């Protein structure tokens, strides 16, 4: 028996479902906050959005929780960051770790693990890609304000974690930026880019925007 839906149709249906969800949420918010000044209403909506779960956790492993999928609010937060990049500095560190874990899942990694807040051994997210060979990536997330830059010592510490973990690659992701001359440091240069990648706030938002444009799957 031939089904009347092809793969493209399912993607279209998924997009329609997301649009319906967002339109309904906006309608409910408008009705419940009728009469509230617009700036206060927008601030309340932003605060409420940033509190919502952005990932769907699965089983617990020795290293942390397996991420099964991202949820609809993940896409909403990415859309918010696209419109208002400064919102990145209102998101708490633990939420940023979840957003980054969701990004790896959206990017097609097979196994994504969100490590616990304590005892993570310098790894906030672990992502594994299984293809012709297995690649293990560890990501350390630093949710810093613009005035707080990641130092060379921070990067060297992650290199130490990389060597003890045995991962294929380490990524240091920050909402801020890196201190000057880090990429010319002789103790850091040998690891870039094959074993170490440094993602600052600008690159981070660009990557999230790209991942957020894909049709939601398994939300």
User: What is the fold, at CATH topology level, of the domain defined by 54-212?
Assistant: Trna Endonuclease; Chain: A, domain 1 (3.40.1350)
Closest CA to 49 of 68, 69, 21: 21
What's the whole-model pTM score? Answer: 0.80
Alpha carbons 120 and 116: distance in angstroms, whole number: 6
d(CA 152, CA 188): 8
Q: Which helix (H) or strand (E) holds 40?
A: helix 38-51
H helices of 55-213, where?
A: 72-83, 93-106, 152-165, 201-212
Q: What is the rounded (10 degree) CA torsion for 116, 58, 211, 219?
A: -140
Q: Give the CA count within 13 Å in the CB-facing half-sphere of 137.
A: 27
pLDDT score recorded for residue 28: 46
Q: Do 200 and 146 meet the contact criterion of CB atoms below 8 Å apart?
A: no
Q: What confidence score (pLDDT) does residue 40 get?
A: 74
What the block records as the tokens of 132 is: 């012709």
What integer pLDDT is reported at residue 192 of this predicted model?
96
Which residues, other chains included, contact 154 with Cβ-Cβ below 8 Å and sequence gap of 6+?
A: 142, 172
Task: Report CA 16 to chain centroid distance, whole Å.
Answer: 24
The per-residue pLDDT for 44 is 85
pLDDT at 42: 79
Each domain of the chain, given as residue ranges in start order, spans 54-212
pLDDT block averages, 10 residues each, the chain of length 219: 40 50 52 58 85 94 95 95 95 96 96 90 96 96 97 97 96 97 95 97 97 67
The predicted structure's pLDDT at residue 118: 81
The Cα 129–Cα 203 span in angstroms is 22
């Amino acid at each position: 028996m031939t089904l009347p839906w092809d793969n493209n149709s399912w993607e279209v249906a998924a997009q329609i479902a997301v649009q319906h969800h967002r339109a309904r949420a906006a309608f409910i918010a408008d009705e419940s906050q009728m009469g509230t000044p617009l700036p206060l209403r927008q601030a309340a909506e932003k605060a409420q959005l940033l509190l919502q779960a952005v990932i769907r956790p699965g089983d617990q492993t020795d290293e942390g929780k397996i991420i099964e999928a991202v949820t609809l609010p993940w896409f909403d937060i990415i859309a918010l960051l696209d419109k208002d990049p400064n919102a990145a500095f209102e998101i708490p560190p633990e939420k940023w770790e979840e957003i980054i874990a969701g990004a790896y899942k959206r990017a097609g990694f097979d196994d994504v693990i969100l490590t616990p807040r304590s005892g993570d051994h310098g790894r906030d997210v672990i992502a594994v890609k299984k293809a012709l060979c297995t690649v293990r990536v560890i990501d350390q997330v630093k949710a810093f304000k613009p005035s707080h830059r990641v130092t060379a010592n921070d990067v060297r510490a992650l290199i130490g974690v990389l060597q003890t973990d045995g991962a294929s690659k380490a990524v240091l992701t920050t909402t801020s930026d890196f201190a000057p001359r880090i990429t010319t440091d002789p103790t850091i240069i040998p690891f870039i880019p094959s074993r170490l990648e440094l993602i600052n706030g600008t690159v981070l938002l660009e990557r999230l925007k790209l991942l957020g444009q894909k049709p939601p799957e398994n939300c």
